[in-house]
Amino acid sequence: SRLRQEDYAPRIVEHPSDLIVSKGEPATLNCKAEGRPTPTVEWYKDGERVETDRDNPRSHRMLLPSGSLFFLRIVHGRRSKPDEGSYVCVARNYLGEAVSHNASLEVA
C-alpha cells in the first residue's frame, strides 16, 4: 500500500487524567486520537496491555469507540487490585504510534 498524501500518523487529542474512584463504582479514562487511517487504540497499565471486552467478552473493562477505557465497576480487593495503577493509551496506524500522558487510577 502506497503512502497516500492525506494519511498521517496518529496523535493524541485528548489525554487521560488522574482518577480517584470508589471500589465498585464505574470510571472512565478518556483518550481520543486522530490519524488517517483511523488509529487503533490500546491501553497499558503499568506497562502491561489491558484486557478489555474486545479480548474477553466477560471483562469489566470496555474499550469505547472513542478510544476511552470504561470500567463498569472498579475491582479492588485485599489481595488483588487489578484496576489500580498507571495507565497510558497508545494509538497506532501504519505510519506510527502516539502515546498519551500517564494517568493514575487510585481506589479511594
User: What is the structure's pLDDT at 84?
Assistant: 98
Q: What is the 3-state secondary structure (H, E, C) of the chain?
A: CCCCCCCEEEEEEECCCCEEECCCCCEEECCEEEEECCCEEEEEECCEECCCCCCCCCCCEEECCCCCEEECCCCCCCCCCCCCEEEEEEEEECCEEEECCCEEEEEC
Nearest to 41 by CA among 54, 28, 60, 27: 54
Per-residue pLDDT of 66-101, as tens digits, reads 999 999 999 999 999 999 999 999 999 999 999 999
User: What is the structure's pLDDT at 5?
Assistant: 81
pTM value?
Answer: 0.92
> At 19, which amino acid appears?
L
Asked if 43 contacts 52 with a C-beta cutoff of 8 angstroms, the reply is yes
Cis-peptide into 82, omega within 30 deg:
no
User: What is the structure's pLDDT at 2?
Assistant: 64
Mean pLDDT of 58-66: 96
